Amino acid sequence: MRAAELLDFVSAKRFGLTNIPIPTAAQGEFLVKVSACGICGHDVLARNGKLSADKRHVLGHEISGTVVKAGSDELIHWVGKRVALVQRRPCGKCADCIKGLQTQCRKGPGFYGDDIQGGYAEYVIADPMNTAILPDSIDDTTGSILACAIGTGIRAIKAAALNELDVVLITGAGGGVGIHAVEIAASKNLKVIAQTSSKSKIEMLLEAGATKVLVNPSNEEIRQAAKSLGRDRGVDAVIELTGSPTFQSSLRSIRPRGKLVLVGNTIPEEIGVSLGLIILKELQIIGSANADLKDLNEAIRLVESGEVKPIVSKTYQLEDINQAHSDLDNRSFAGRLVIRLKS
């Protein structure tokens, strides 16, 4: 099968097309013919050698496709189903899985593109624990971004435990996860302050449901925006999608006993944290990882109902993978870029 392998961590053309064996579905697994695969900031970190992926890896964890072969008889009914996949394949048996913490499972096959072959290829292996059936109303391209670009925001906003009309700051709001997080928050009747680094994304963020859009704001500008929305002491929560570049200002923007939900880590590095600020304001810092199957199914429901409208800015063929990553680095778009593997 055709696949785009990671060749090195430094050149402009870091991926090369190659032919690798089609994987074999074992007992309890099925083979999925990939239709589309989204491109995520996680892929960029892996491409730059910042994660566990090594050379010759096939990246890509935002996957949709069609089940074409079952590895055991009990899964025959999956064959022919159009599906979307969760990024991490859990084992279903460990203590974390039994507690419903599939995102913390480290005994299963693992994360596409990091631990197992990803979706920059014509086929991948999946199983019922990380697979949701796509309805006819959702096309393959949209289906590929449901778990990561939308499910990640669902999980983070759920972790913030907000009430209607609460004020939430979303950093990195113009990115693939960010703009959908704005839509999700707006669908829950939250007041959204969207923070972005690009003036060109203001109109799109307002259309997505942002109450206010701030471009590279100072701490004072964030506080004033919160005050104008009825929060004199700061926002109720922050969905932190950028990480170190905005973490400090995000932390200072939160009202006493508010929450910061940390999702993104665009520049992996250690940062200093004011422990006194966290103690005195009794703040909560919560980590939120990738979506699980419940989050993916919730994403499907929100898209089917029209409450969230997935935004795919551009699609590419597999042979254009290097150009797609170059466009992603330029950050001149909002939403997701997607590789199409099915004509």
Three-state secondary structure of the chain: CEEEEECCCCCCCCEEEEECCCCCCCCCCEEEEEEEEEECHHHHHHHCCCCCCCCCCCCCCEEEEEEEEECCHHHHHHCCCEEEECCEECCCCCHHHHCCCHHHCCCCCEEECCCECCCCECEEEECHHHEEECCCCCCHHHHHCHHHHHHHHHHHHHHHCCCCCCEEEECCCCCHHHHHHHHHHHHCCCEEEEEECCHHHHHHHHHHCCCEEEECCCHHHHHHHHHHCCCCCCEEEEEECCCHHHHHHHHHCEEEEEEEEECCCCCCCCCCCCHHHHHHHCCEEEECCCCCHHHHHHHHHHHHHCCCCCCEEEEEEHHHHHHHHHHHHHCCCCCEEEEECCC
Strand partners, 60: none
Q: Give the predicted TM-score (pTM) of the model.
A: 0.94
pLDDT for res 216: 96
Q: Which helix (H) or strand (E) holds 18?
A: strand 15-19
pLDDT for res 224: 96
pLDDT for res 343: 57
- Domains in the chain, ordered, with CATH? 2-145+310-340 (3.90.180.10), 150-287 (3.90.180.10)
User: Which of 323, 319, 324 has its CA nearest to residue 17?
Assistant: 319
Q: Which residues contact 306 (CB under 8 A, 6 or more apart)?
A: none
pLDDT for res 8: 84
- pLDDT < 70: residue spans in the chain: 12, 343
pLDDT for res 279: 96
Distance CA 198, CA 181 (A): 17
pLDDT for res 21: 97
